[in-house]
Structure 1
Amino acid sequence: MIKDDMTPYRFRVRFEDNGVERTHYTDDRRYFEQLIAAHGHLSGLHIDPLILTPEQQQRLDDIKSAGLTGHDAGVYVQHGTTEAEDTGYYDAAKIDAYHRSMIEPSVRCQRKMAEVAGVVINGVRYAGDAGNRQALQEAILAADDGGMTVFSAWKDSDNQYHVNHPVSAVKDALRKIGQRRSALIALEALYVAQVADGTADLASLDWTTEYD
């Protein structure tokens, strides 16, 4: 966010790396445009002008002559603490929030991947990703508007077809997907804190819920 000369970078760059949200700061937007274009696992590029909030600008003004590295200055401007403990600007309480912000994108990505499995009801799988949740809502709305009690043909998330599939079953599935998603979000919050403080390993998080 802040360069070694204590000036902000011009742009904030956001993209996904295999589903994990990444944020970088740069003066050279073309570098990231070329990077994302050259690598298939990178997607969703957003480049915006970097504009500091009044609070962030005040923090930057406070540390301009403190001799900090660009990295510590950027952490301080964003979070109110430096990562290094010997700067005079270290805040033990705020550093925890910084560590959580570093872990959160990776944990969130795992949670979203866990959502995809969805739920299985009477042998029929209903995926839990955002696109399928929207599709289920649209199907239920159409059924209610048309006074339907069954779908004459229903294609499940394993590409299997079902004749005269009950609308009530789809409603039940959407409800249980929501319950499972809420449980996964609760696990996400727990795991962000645990990975940040070193009591859990990012590579071995268990996303099992009571709704599986």
Structure 2
Amino acid sequence: MLRNDLTPMQYRVRFLDGDIERTHYTDDRRYYEQLIARHGHLTDLRIEPLALTTEQQQRLDALPAGLTPHDAGIYVRYGTAEDEESPHYDAALIAAYHRAQAEPAIKAERKRAEALGVVHNGIRYAGDPSNRQSMQEALMAADDGGMTVFSAWKDSDGSYHDGVPVADVRGALRKIGQRRAHLIGLEAQYVAAVADGQMDGSELDWSTPHD
């Protein structure tokens, strides 16, 4: 976030590494443009001018002496030093930093679990945003047309089903929503536990009562 002279870098850069969001700070936007162009698993590049909040600017203007650029960047962003021995260390504030470090990978895991969706009356319905939107659109069309049955329905495994009740699709969408809410609750618990060092981020259980 800060250069070696403790002034802010010019850009905040965000992109997806697979399905994990990465955030970096740089003066060289061209480096990241070339990086994403060379590697197919890196996508969704977003580069924007780095704008400090009022609180961050105030902390930058009154930086404690002796901080390295890394520690100063954490102090400006979160209001605390990382070193527990520092007089500027704040356990509650550093927890926010640790959560921010843990969240991207856990959020990506939650989204993968969410995408699996549900099986409702023998038909699998994926839970990813695109399929949720498709289900909502199909139900709106059914409501507008007074339909009670879809004459043909293509499930999330690519199989076709004849005569699927509209009520079944509505029930599946409701079940997907309930499962998603439960997964988001697990994500919050896991982010807190991993950030606290109470849990290994590689051993997360995403099972829910709605599976």
TM-score, structure 1 as length reference? 0.97
Per the alignment, residue 51 of structure 1 pairs with 51
Question: Is 2:199 the counterpart of 1:200?
Answer: yes
Per the alignment, residue 136 of structure 2 pairs with 137
**Structure 2 Cα separation of the partners of residues 5 and 34 of structure 1:** 26
Tell which deviates more after alignment, 49-58 or 81-90: 81-90
**Structure 2 Cα separation of the partners of residues 206 and 199 of structure 1:** 15
Tell me how far 1:87 sits from its aligned partner: 3.5
After superposition, what is the alpha-carbon deviation per residue over 1:32-64, rounded to whole angstroms, capped at 9, x for unaligned? 00001111111110000001111110000110x
Q: Which amino acid aligns with 2:146?
A: G
TM-score, structure 2 as length reference? 0.98
Per the alignment, residue 95 of structure 1 pairs with 94
Secondary structure of the corresponding residue to residue 203 of structure 1: coil
Is the 1:68–1:87 contact (alpha carbons within 8 Å) kept by the matching residues of 2? Answer: no
After superposition, what is the alpha-carbon deviation per residue over 1:154-203, rounded to whole angstroms, capped at 9, x for unaligned? 00001010111111000000000000000000000000011111111111
Per the alignment, residue 12 of structure 2 pairs with 12
1:105-184 → structure 2 map (5 Å cutoff): 105-184=104-183
**Structure 2 Cα separation of the partners of residues 170 and 44 of structure 1:** 32
Structure 1 residues not aligned, in runs of 5+: none
Per the alignment, residue 41 of structure 2 pairs with 41
**Structure 1 Cα separation of the partners of residues 86 and 41 of structure 2:** 38
Report the RMSD for the aligned CA atoms in angstroms: 0.9
Structure 2 residues not aligned, in runs of 5+: none
**Structure 2 Cα separation of the partners of residues 91 and 2 of structure 1:** 20
Q: Which amino acid aligns with 2:25?
A: Y
Per the alignment, residue 67 of structure 2 pairs with 68
Q: Which runs of 4+ in 1 moved over 2 A?
A: 85-88
Secondary structure of the corresponding residue to residue 204 of structure 1: coil
Equivalent pairs counted in the alignment come to: 211
Q: Which amino acid aligns with 1:123?
A: G
Secondary structure of the corresponding residue to residue 135 of structure 1: helix
